[in-house]
Structure 1
Amino acid sequence: MMNVKECYEMFGGNYEEIMRLLMTEARVIKYLLKFRKDTCMQELTKALKEERYEDAFRYAHTLKGVSTNLMMERLVVSSCELTEALRHNETDVEDLYNNVKEDYDLIIEAIRCLEEE
């Protein structure tokens, strides 16, 4: 049985800070479920595959912002690194993307575990 605190621990988030900001676990869950339904990561993947780096930058930047707002600290770091590389017109970003994908997938798995409760 997973609760919100365990969910945040699983994906390397800051539970205390998100609770300070949103005040109730119900609100946190509401936004975690919205995050899970968001297509930003899929669009980022597609943009990179199609070498649309300007679009990829926008999606990475959006992911960085959302993860910052939800206190998803590991994803904040990895998406920030990808965003900055793309901002500087780097195109060899596969390793940075893989870090983002790994962090994102861990968050999605944690949210799924939370939903099953």
Structure 2
Amino acid sequence: MTLEQLYQEIAGNYADIKDRLRKEERIEKFVFLFLKDTSYQTMVQALETGNMEEAFRAVHTLKGICMNLSFDELYHFSSEMTECLRAGDGTGAAKILPELEKCYEKHVQMICKYKNN
């Protein structure tokens, strides 16, 4: 699997990230760093404990990371979650969480697959 194929699998925008970071080695470095980021886990834990403020901060961070990496689909879900939490809409956030989780897990799986390729 190539880096471009990885981006296709995760519905990312390879042309955008390539234009921004220029070199595949640089893109790869930041894509691999995504695996170490704990924003998603922090968001989930905060939601489980009802800490909407912490959940908002965490998902807002995740949204920014996704925007910078051109992870368009995950950006979409994290952006929706951010807006629900910004508005204090826990019910809306709970509705988005399964799709966000599914998309996040797909990203992690595909990045790991690419890394072990």
TM-score range with shorter-chain normalisation? over 0.9
Runs of 4+ in 1 over 4 A off after TM superposition: none
Matched, 1:100 2:100: yes
- Alignment length (residue pairs): 116
Give unmatched runs, 5+ long, in structure 2.
none
Q: Matched residues in 2 for 1:38 and 1:71: separation? A: 16
Give the fraction of aligned pairs with identical amino acids, expressed as a percent: 32
Q: Matched residues in 2 for 1:99 and 1:61: separation? A: 16
TM-score norm. by structure 1 comes to: 0.96
Q: How does 1:78-93 map to 2 (within 5 A)?
A: 78-92=77-91, 93=93
Q: Matched residues in 2 for 1:94 and 1:85: separation? A: 9
One-letter identity of the residue aligned with 1:96: I
One-letter identity of the residue aligned with 1:106: K
Q: Greater relative contact order (Cα 8 A, min sep 6): structure 1 or 2?
A: 1
1:31-83, Cα deviation, whole Å (9 max, x unpaired): 01111111111111100000000000001111110000000000111001000
Q: Matched residues in 2 for 1:75 and 1:48: separation? A: 18
CA RMSD of aligned residues (A): 0.7
